[in-house]
A = this chain, B = another copy of it.
């Protein structure tokens, strides 16, 4: 019967049915068991090609789509992955979000956006993961505390981590540029361009990305016999960058500044100009991120690229593979820091 009359149920219920075809109806129309329908839609399930074909045909005829919530409940595979993000003032996040969501779509994964701005503790996130049967977490947040990351680690929740890249024996899947290498590159570049007193504006204290790049920066410069110093910005905003730069300028004695992010560098750039100093002659500037805005002619910032597209894709692909093979070992994708040459750096001495 084409009208799909289902065995009389005692009462009409609302549920999420939404007037949509259910697995049971497909089973009846195809003349198979419900289990067969389920198997037909589950890759790797034990089912013959013939049976599967029959099911698929009936399903298409009825416009059937498995209800993922029910599948998640029954089988634990909701297809939901939580994107933990903060730093909503940094356009780089938007880019990451764009790439990550596109990659997820390719894997049939659905992104839940977990805004961890402010003091979202790991426990809060963990609760949501439980409440919704979220399968994995994608950490897209540079501002995550060590405590948070350790919490995720211990919880056993699957995850991948952008903004983290320790090539040796990673504790979890991660992808990123190694901050220390970026900092070394910046330091070496300043030296090569003839700057003699480089400084660094690092991110706010307490961030996981603070110590490593600062070390890379000072160590390299020490080795080259150049003076150097590191100050912190109070946040990642351009304003914070401008204030830090103003402070550096007030103390004199610096002619090049590496900023831990492009947002910081953009603020610093404004501060340098406001102080009547010339970029890149008086002051050289290197950012870190290569935001779209950094390429605008008004900004035109020399910076170290952070390959957001590759990193987002790598993390999502890893999560998708992990889903098919839970025994997968953590891996790291380490991108090389790359200098994007624009106008805030003197050219190399010839």
Contact = CB atoms under 8 A, between A and B. Distances in A.
Interface string A102-129: 1001000011111101000000000110
A347 interface: no
Interface residues of A, number: 56
| Identical copies in the complex | 2
Interface string A49-80: 00000000000000001111110111110101
A132 B270 contact: no
Contact of A112 (B15, B97, B111): B111
A189 to B, nearest CB: 23
Contacts of A270: 296-298
A85 to B, nearest CB: 9
A216 interface: no
A16 interface: yes
Contact of A69 (B95, B113, B133, B297): B133
B78 A102 contact: no
Interface stretch (A31-39, A86-94, A193-201, A220-228): A86-94
Interface string A292-306: 110011110000000
Contacts of A16: 72-73, 76, 78, 130, 133
A14 interface: yes
A130 B20 contact: yes
Given A91-B91, A94-B93, A67 B20 contact: no
26 contacts: A15-B75, A15-B76, A16-B133, A65-B127, A67-B130, A69-B69, A69-B73, A69-B131, A69-B133, A70-B73, A73-B73, A83-B113, A89-B94, A97-B113, A97-B115, A98-B117, A102-B115, A110-B132, A112-B112, A112-B113, A238-B292, A266-B296, A270-B297, A273-B297, A273-B298, A274-B297
